[in-house]
Amino acid sequence: MPTLHGFSYSNYYNMPKHALLYKGVAFEEDLVYPSAAGYNELSPALKVPSLTTDDGKHLSEAAVLCEYIEDAYPEKPLFPSEPVARNQVRQLMHMAELYLELPFRRLLPFSFSGQQAPEQILNEVNGVVDRGVNSMNALASFSPWVLGDTFTMADIYLYYCLSVADMGSAMSGIDLNARISGLAEWRAAFAEDPVSEKVAADTAANRDSFFAYIKG
């Protein structure tokens, strides 16, 4: 049985967790922060999440774990079999991370501390997010899922990338739901799924522990 290492308040932890739950894979959770002794053996970069496979090998980086889960547990596929369609899923995953999640992540220290971000950082963040907005409007159909009528890993990846975007959106002045056509309706449908509700409940339960860890 695989073991997923990390903590539930991490959006990157929730990406492979959602994939495992969606596929019905039995797995264990090791709720751990990257500062824990020995965590470097699971993730050399000391990042969450990491995964111990059935045969005791360790993998890290959320995108790698999502790809591994698809390869190891092909039932209920989250990637299309056709090469172009498969890489369209990967393309949207990378764009969601590079142009939405990562720029908004720069604002998290200010959001957590209640301080205003410097104007230069806000301008840089908004410039990168504009790329993400344009990319989503060009590539995502949300009909009803991100890339059409089939639920894919792109849905999972984008949804949890947006959880970080939400934390920085008020500070940046960017309303992604207003600027990306169909986004709000898709997010509402995603959130109503039982797997999404399970992940959301675990995230909420871990909140106080996470912020205590940050303060420590």
Q: Which domains does the chain have, with CATH numbers?
A: 3-77+205-215 (3.40.30.10), 83-181 (1.20.1050.10)
Q: How far apart are CA 137 and CA 157, in angstroms?
A: 16
User: Model's pTM, two decimal places?
Assistant: 0.95
Q: 81-101: string of b/e by CB count within 10 Å (b at 16+)?
A: eeeeebebbbebbebbbebbb
| pLDDT tens, residue by residue, 66-83 | 999 999 999 999 999 999
| pLDDT tens, residue by residue, 132-163 | 999 999 999 999 999 999 999 999 999 999 99
34: phi then psi, degrees, rounded to nearest 5: -65, -15
Radius of gyration of the chain (CA): 17
pLDDT category at 113 given cuts 50, 70, 90 is: confident
